[in-house]
Amino acid sequence: MFRKKKIVELELPEENDHLSEAVLEKHRKIICRNDLVANDEELATAIVSRSKLVRFPKDHVLVTQGDDTDDVYFILFGSVSVYINSNFIDTKEATETVGEMAAMKPGSARSADVIVNTQNLEARVISAHDFRNLMSKNVGFRERLSDMVDSMNRKNIRLLGEGKSSFGSTWTWTSIMFGVVIGVLCGLWFGFGGSPIWVAILWALGAGALGTLVAIRMNPDFIYRNMFWLSGTAMIAQAVQTVFSLSFSVNGPQQSLPFLWNFSSNPEQKWWGVAIIYLSLAGLAFMSWLADRDLRRNSSRNE
């Protein structure tokens, strides 16, 4: 949670005619290094001529989420912290801009809280009207701004998703606790069943590790990844089982093992077994493809 704005008397914006030419030239050079300006001296001069110098103290709320203000700030000195729904998103410092998203869309509300996090902040503030006017006259400026806003939106979505995740590390600890409980219960079962202590310990460790892995795989945050992993593993396991079943029951010794199918029985049962194998493999392959498609769709949506 960010700190509240201090009640202080702020200085009025300083007009260009109150600044020396040396100071204005310094501001032009700083703004020239802005990624949106990209060393375009003519654009930097236009921004300086249409903007005013402002100064703010530490903890000042420069922008409030939901407000209808639309000025744009070109930071000259200091830095600010950006929050969305009280979640820290980013830090912006000298040569960067603040407020360009609201300026691009007239009437749209501010999308974040922006708070000064250095002792002082100096910036040049330009109205949204003048900012859009510069956009309309400079194609390169408009394209760079569009790319930057698109990249910023993807970054904010990703960071908010990570910050608001209901599971993540919490699910990992839950899985570990689940594995510990399973391991203890399994150890007690074999211990009170008369098994040697070392057997009970081995079963407890194995069951605990397996329970933890299974629980981790059940994390809802990775449902499509788990579907892909499980269906792919099941498909490989079934293919291996089929190969061994054919080897042992048709071309090999007539040996009966509990996990193998017997293909040496009557032809009708054999063909039904083959059909079931192919249908189940096709079903697993379809499930794997579906999970992979949804996983890629969600990944591209969050980038």
Instruction: Give 140-186 pLDDT, tens digit per residue.
Output: 888 888 888 777 766 655 555 554 444 445 667 777 888 888 888 88
Query: 90 - beta bridge partners?
Result: 82
The answer on pLDDT for 40 being more than 60 is yes
- What pLDDT is stored for residue 1 in this prediction? 41
- In our burial notation (b when 16+ CB lie closer than 10 A, e otherwise), range 186-198 reads bbeebbeeeeeee
Instruction: Give 225-244 pLDDT, tens digit per residue.
Output: 666 666 667 777 777 777 77
- In the 8-state DSSP scheme, what is residue 15? P
Instruction: Give 112-143 pLDDT, tens digit per residue.
Output: 899 999 999 999 999 989 999 998 899 888 88
Residues 6+ apart with CB under 8 A from 272: none
Quote the pTM value. 0.52
Distances (CA, A) of 186 to 59, 149, 220, 276: 56, 55, 26, 35
Tokens standing for residue 107: 């009437």
Distances (CA, A) of 295 to 5, 120, 163, 223, 301: 42, 45, 20, 9, 10
The candidate with the shortest Cα–Cα distance to 7, out of 56, 60, 47, 52, is: 60
Tokens 């700083």: give the residue. 30
The answer on pLDDT for 255 being more than 80 is no
- In the 8-state DSSP scheme, what is residue 19? S
